[in-house]
Amino acid sequence: MPIKYYFMRNVAFALLVLVFSSCSTPKNMVYFSDTESFMGREIANSYINTIQKDDLLSITVESKTPELAVPFNQIVATANSASLKNREYGYLVNSEGNIVFPILGRMKVEGLKYSELSSIIEQRIMDGGYINDPTVNVRLLNYKIAVLGEVKTPGVKTIESERITLFDALSLAGDLTIYGKRENISIIREENGVRELARVDISSGDIFTSPYYYLHPNDIVYVEPNKKQQRQSTSNQYLLPSILSGTSLLVTIITLLTR
């Protein structure tokens, strides 16, 4: 074999090893690695959300006599082109924890469960002699959470249902990337004027009994990058030019030796 081809083959092999080793994919990490620790365990009912300041509440009143409920429902008709659509406006919980409800006036709602507020409004409507059979539904209109860090689609996620788990939130964000630290996910929560930070491990079955398994409105979920990703982020600006230069060198050598 001519020496120039032998040299070319070895140089090419060395450069290809360098390129592909630098781009290798880390081994995937798994969830629930200790399945024996949570299989068969009773499901904990730890999901309790209470009304907080700045919540936007939808409150609707129903009755077997619909016309009696109309004054209690904050519904207006707005024209949109040739059609007529109903738009629902919510009740914003102010800085003092109050809302102003039609006919009943100012009400302190902060700290109440949704079901508790429903019962209170129903009782006050009956006590005032307005409706004998009111049914009140309360739900949160501005339920949102933020998912940041090593997930595929970070950002603020609007929640349609009345509850969401940490895994639901991660699913909405496209799941963790292979660089996300599954054993050290941060959850930032503000409650009763106090901000707290917790760290959870979703690779362990203990997450199912954690008070952070169910998220609260306005929670922030942050997935920290692992050490390999941190190193890669700081070295990318040097690594990519090196790969490109190596590839260019390989092409140049091949071109010269094949003339």
E strands present in the chain: 56-62, 75-80, 83-88, 91-92, 98-101, 105-108, 135-140, 144-149, 155-158, 180-191, 194-200, 220-225
Task: Using CA atoms of 160, 161, 163, 165 in order, give the dihedral in degrees to the nearest 10.
Answer: -60
Return phi, psi of residue 78, to 5°.
-125, 140
- Give the span between the Cα atoms of 58 and 140, in whole angstroms: 6
Question: What per-residue confidence (pLDDT) applies to 72?
Answer: 94
User: Which tokens go with 166?
Assistant: 């940490």
- Give the span between the Cα atoms of 110 and 139, in whole angstroms: 14
CA angle 117, 46, 155 (to 5 degrees): 85
Which residues are CB-neighbours of 111 under 8 A, at least 6 positions away? 50, 51, 97, 192
Return phi, psi of residue 231, to 5°.
-65, -40
Q: What is the pLDDT along the chain (259 residues), one digit of tens a residue?
A: 555 555 555 555 554 455 444 444 444 455 655 555 555 556 555 577 889 999 999 999 999 999 999 999 975 433 443 443 434 578 999 999 999 999 999 999 999 999 999 999 999 999 999 999 999 999 999 999 999 999 999 999 999 888 899 999 999 999 999 999 999 999 999 877 789 999 999 988 889 989 999 999 999 999 999 876 555 555 455 555 555 555 565 555 555 555 5
- Give the span between the Cα atoms of 192 and 30, in whole angstroms: 35
E strands present in 97-179: 98-101, 105-108, 135-140, 144-149, 155-158
- Give the span between the Cα atoms of 113 and 124, in whole angstroms: 17
Question: What per-residue confidence (pLDDT) applies to 255?
Answer: 57
